[in-house]
Amino acid sequence: MNLKTKSAILGFGVLALAGCNTDMWRQPKQEPLDASEFYADGAANRPLVPNTIPRGYARQDDAYYVGAENGKWLDGLPAGIKVNLALLQRGRERYNIYCTPCHGQLGDGQGMIAHRGFTLKRPVGNYHTDRLMKMPAGHFYEVITNGYGAMFSYASRIEPQDRWAIVAYIRALQLSQSASPSDLKPEELQSLSAKNETHDRLAQK
């Protein structure tokens, strides 16, 4: 490398360094929760612009996000949600975390909160009453979302897909306490009878 080339590289390096400064990361700024003398309310955090929706939160599917269509609660789960073992297992897990303290593991309103007398003016909901057995699925989703009576909203704790999983599990709980052998197919009844016989034999040992 000759002297002329070295001088050119050195000159370019000097110019590049001269253009570098720390203004970009040392510029005046405020962190969240900082006080501010610029805004009238004295807060650096700014409220959301009225009548705007954050990207990805349009949520125009009322059936999925509200539990109702045309002003009526859904009778079943929204289209696209497949009721299968995975959904019910997820619903049971979420139900056991958020719902059993009040509603109990069977959904009979006999959770620990009820046993300790924290029922306020009305008893904890029992999913096996005639009224709630007849309630559309959308009602349960709406209650999880917005609360009901002494029950507060779980919207910030339970995502929509998990609310529907819980609703599916509530339906399974209702069925578990009201089903009869005649509801089963012959092969299902035979399988259940075989399991019961096995259980009885093991219990006798």
Query: How many CA atoms are closer than 13 Å to the CA of 87, on its beta-carbon side?
Result: 18
Query: For residue 92, how many other CB atoms are within 10 A of its CB?
Result: 19
Predicted confidence band at 106 (pLDDT cuts at 50, 70, 90)? very high
Per-residue pLDDT at 19 exceeds 70: no
d(CA 91, CA 161): 10
Per-residue pLDDT at 64 exceeds 70: yes
Query: How many CA atoms are closer than 13 Å to the CA of 45, on its beta-carbon side?
Result: 5
**Mean pLDDT within 60-72:** 93
Query: For residue 91, how many other CB atoms are within 10 A of its CB?
Result: 24
Q: In whole angstroms, what separates CA 9 from the centre of its chain? A: 60
Higher pLDDT, 159 or 51: 159
- The residues, any chain, with a CB within 8 Å of residue 132's CB and separated by 6 or more, are 125, 126, 174
Which of 13-22, 79-88, 114-123 has the highest mean predicted lDDT (pLDDT)? 79-88
Predicted pLDDT of residue 4: 63
Mean pLDDT for all residues in the chain: 86
| Verdict on whether the full-model pTM lies above 0.85 | no
Predicted confidence band at 58 (pLDDT cuts at 50, 70, 90)? confident
Predicted confidence band at 119 (pLDDT cuts at 50, 70, 90)? low
Per-residue pLDDT at 26 exceeds 80: no
Beta partners for 69? 72
Per-residue pLDDT at 202 exceeds 80: no
Which is the CATH superfamily of the domain at 74-188?
Answer: Cytochrome c-like domain (1.10.760.10)
**What one-letter code names the amino acid at 159?**
E
d(CA 90, CA 97): 11
pLDDT digits (tens, 9 = 90+) for 151-178: 999 999 999 999 999 999 999 999 988 7
Predicted pLDDT of residue 46: 86
**What one-letter code names the amino acid at 54?**
P
Predicted confidence band at 93 (pLDDT cuts at 50, 70, 90)? very high
Higher pLDDT, 30 or 109: 109
Percent of the chain residues topping a pLDDT of 70? 85
Predicted pLDDT of residue 133: 95
**Mean pLDDT within 79-106:** 96
**Mean pLDDT within 31-43:** 89
